[in-house]
Amino acid sequence: METKEIYETLFIALGKFNSDALVVAAFDIMQMPIVVTDATFVVTGKYPLTPCGDEQWDANVVGKQIESKYIDIFLRDNMWEAYGNDYVPIYTNWGYFAEQPRYACAIVDNGEVLGYVSALATGFECEEWHTTAMLLISRAFSIGCGKRYQESRYGGYLSGVLLQGLLAGEFKNEEEFDRMYAITGETLKPGFVLMSVKTRNLMNKPFESYIGSKLREFISNVLTVVQNEKLYVLLCGVSDGFDKQQSFRDAVVYLKTVDASCGFSRRFEHPYPLTTYKWQADKALEIGSAIKPQKSMFHYDDLISEIMLSVLKEKAPLENFVHPSVVRLSKYDVMHNTDYMMTLKTYLSNSSDKAATAVQLRIHRNTLRYRLEKIKEITGLENLEGPAVLFLYLSLLVSTNPLAEPHGK
């Protein structure tokens, strides 16, 4: 089909303000069966509805989410990697689809993935113009879907306006938030935790909307939204120890299966201002992933010292904040293969309690006394107690932090 004809067919369909008309128009252009989904893989359109003899294709039902086993196939066969960052149409003829090829293209509006359109190419001769046609079809859907998305976003749906607005800091004050909250008619139970979720494989970022929909199957009373290439999950009505509940543990297991990492904010009682807790969740994810890449779940309070140091490091080199005595002690450890830095840090973190320090280090109290005297000798410090040790302790945090440059060279 000529490009001019493709445009004319799509313009006519768009003029009908009917998504089903666009699906039929896509079929008329491609002469192949068409399926359209939203970003969470809920099928929003399909034509024709009659079976095609393809198990996965025929399992697609309008109004229902694509079965998980097929989503797993998309991930296993690296379908998202084929898209790249430009979301151009792709012809999937490898892996599971080697004998059942498809054309597929993301429906994108202002950089945000709203959904996907696919054409079943099994048994059809594929020509170069098909790729151009799929791109134009996806753009037509982005116009149609974009209109509906904006209407839903600003028409009072919580996930569209309230959560997006909270994350973006769009509310001027708590009163403004309360007014919008009242309009939504939604009920947010007090006791909140914000999660920042990101897939480790950056090519899988469109998959994050789907992850949000799956999390809602495990955890009730949650709100999800994708913003700035991250999935944000607002847990509502949670109490202390929520992460010990079986439903939450099941959700964590699922996140691990899709190779996702997440940062958790502190628990809070009111969602305004959410930007504070967004920063906490984002920093927990960023710093936790950097220093503990083998893990996938990171709580803000567990990383507070590392996060403080990362912020400090953005302002000036960390060595500017290290006590000279700590520098000497670090060099001594390197030269003599000792561990006095950790001994001193443990001692100060236990508020100079010798008994607790000996237990934590698993050494005799006499051994600890020897080490402390040796530390005084090396550093020239006469007193390891009192208010003056605060700077010393902060210096030890800097020097023993994975984010800091080594001082023992």
Distances (CA, A) of 87 to 108, 206, 270: 8, 10, 38
Whole-structure pTM value: 0.64
Average pLDDT over residues 318-341: 88
pLDDT of residue 263: 96
Going by pLDDT thresholds of 50, 70 and 90, the confidence category of residue 338 is very high
* Cβ neighbours of 351 (radius 10 Å): 10
pLDDT of residue 405: 52
pLDDT digits (tens, 9 = 90+) for 123-136: 888 898 999 999 99
Q: Are residues 166 and 300 in the same domain?
A: yes
298 forms beta bridges with: 263
pLDDT of residue 28: 95
CA 273-277-282 angle, to 5 degrees, is 135
Nearest-angstrom CA–CA distance, 219 and 237: 11
User: What value does the CA radius of gyration of the chain take, rounded to a whole number of Å?
Assistant: 28
Sheet with 222-227: strands ordered across = 222-227, 230-235, 193-199, 260-264, 297-299
Q: Are residues 140 and 176 in the same domain?
A: no
Distances (CA, A) of 2 to 24, 101, 121, 132: 18, 23, 19, 10
Going 374 to 378 to 384 to 389, the CA torsion angle's sign is negative
Let me know if residue 244 belongs to a domain. Answer: yes
Task: Give the least confident one: 71-80, 142-151, 169-178, 279-288.
Answer: 142-151
**CA proximity to 257, closest of 102, 2, 71:** 71
Q: Are residues 178 and 282 in the same domain?
A: yes
* Mean residue pLDDT across the chain: 84
pLDDT of residue 145: 65
pLDDT of residue 158: 45
- How many domains does one find in the chain? 3
Alpha helices in 237-383 (DSSP H): 246-257, 274-291, 304-315, 324-336, 340-349, 354-361, 365-379
Last residue of some domain: 121, 154, 187? 154
Last residue of some domain: 154, 175, 209? 154
Most confident of the ranges 52-61, 224-233, 390-399 = 52-61
Q: Are residues 73 and 97 in the same domain?
A: yes
Nearest-angstrom CA–CA distance, 266 and 278: 10
CATH number of 294's domain: 3.30.70.270
Q: Are residues 112 and 169 in the same domain?
A: no
Q: Are residues 124 and 79 in the same domain?
A: yes
Cis peptide bond prior to 324, omega within 30° of 0? no
Q: Are residues 145 and 163 in the same domain?
A: no
pLDDT of residue 153: 37
Segments forming the whole domain that contains residue 114: 3-154
**Start-to-end C-alpha separation, the chain:** 69
pLDDT digits (tens, 9 = 90+) for 33-44: 999 998 888 899
Average pLDDT over residues 373-402: 79
CATH number of 350's domain: 1.10.10.2840
Average pLDDT over residues 82-88: 64
Let me know if residue 350 belongs to a domain. Answer: yes
Last residue of some domain: 292, 313, 334? 313
CA 281-283-286 angle, to 5 degrees, is 110
pLDDT digits (tens, 9 = 90+) for 272-289: 889 999 999 999 999 999
CATH number of 33's domain: 3.30.450.40
pLDDT digits (tens, 9 = 90+) for 306-316: 888 888 878 87
Q: Are residues 167 and 287 in the same domain?
A: yes
Q: Are residues 174 and 297 in the same domain?
A: yes
Structure tokens of 22? 């666009």
Going by pLDDT thresholds of 50, 70 and 90, the confidence category of residue 189 is confident
Residue position matching structure tokens 């086993």 = 69
**Residue 62 in this model has a pLDDT that exceeds 80:** yes
Higher-confidence residue: 179 or 234?
234
- The rounded percent of the chain whose pLDDT value lies above 90 is 35
Q: Are residues 184 and 206 in the same domain?
A: yes
Residue 323 CA to its chain's centroid (Å): 37
**Residue 404 in this model has a pLDDT that exceeds 70:** no
Average pLDDT over residues 185-208: 77
Let me know if residue 222 belongs to a domain. Answer: yes
Let me know if residue 406 belongs to a domain. Answer: no
Let me know if residue 301 belongs to a domain. Answer: yes
Going 377 to 382 to 385 to 387, the CA torsion angle's sign is negative
Q: Are residues 74 and 138 in the same domain?
A: yes
Provide the residue count of the chain.
Answer: 409
Average pLDDT over residues 55-81: 84
